[in-house]
A = this chain, B = another copy of it.
Amino acid sequence: MSLFAAEIETVAKAIIEDFTRRGLTIATAESCTGGLIAGALTEISGSSAVVLCGYVTYSNQAKMDMLGVPALTLETHGAVSRQTALAMAQGALYRSGAEISIAVTGIAGPGGGSAEKPVGLVHLAAMSRKGSTLHRQMRYGDLGREGVRLATLETALEMVKQAAQDAP
């Protein structure tokens, strides 16, 4: 029985095995995916040695309280922005003590879109304690709520692999 598609599971398994071998840990910070990144990683047996924790920060208040995202960042740039994604990744990294963090914030729809920030817009950030900072702005288009969430999950796992490349 498997919840996630085989391709997702394959990447998640590769990450958990690689991190286990290298003694690396990870923390997730999720808005639009609502826990699916942590859910996919923890599907893998042995993930408890790698996944320290996940912050599902759906409200702005949670982004501030749980991850230390500055109110000014949210006010100035909005919850779906490069700046917020980076602040979420940084908060997750330092509050958890993990070596790698991944953060996502976006508009899964069907509501909440605008001309400037349409449904399918997602900002992702990954950081390593060693100093890597990655950011991607994705415009998946209106794939439907679950489509956007699953596409985001896929991109997030890719970025985790990438951010881990320079880790100790």
Interface residue SS majority, chain A? mixed
Contact: B54 with A58, CB < 8 Å?
yes
Which listed residue (B34, B62, B143) contacts A43, Cβ 8 A?
B34
Segment 34-79 of A: residues with Cβ below 8 Å from B: 34-39, 41-43, 45-48, 51-59, 61-62, 65-66
Contact: A3 with B150, CB < 8 Å?
yes
Q: A43 to B149: give the CA distance in the assembly, Å.
A: 9
CB-CB under 8 A from A30, the residues of chain B are: 35
Per-residue B-contact encoding for A9-21, CB less than 8 Å = 1, 0 else: 0000000000000
Contact: A28 with B56, CB < 8 Å?
yes
- The residue in A2, A34, A43, A48 that gathers the most chain B C-beta atoms within 10 A of its C-beta is A34
Q: A96 to B58: give the CA distance in the assembly, Å.
A: 11
Which listed residue (B45, B46, B53) contacts A56, Cβ 8 A?
B53
A81 at the interface (CB under 8 A from B): no
Spell out A's residues near B (CB within 8 Å).
1-4, 28, 30, 33-39, 41-43, 45-48, 51-59, 61-62, 65-66, 95-97, 109-112, 143-147, 149-150
17 new A-B contacts, CB < 8 A, other than A35-B56, A52-B61, A53-B62, are: A1-B146, A3-B146, A28-B35, A33-B39, A34-B38, A34-B51, A35-B38, A45-B109, A48-B59, A51-B56, A51-B58, A52-B59, A54-B55, A54-B58, A55-B55, A56-B56, A66-B66
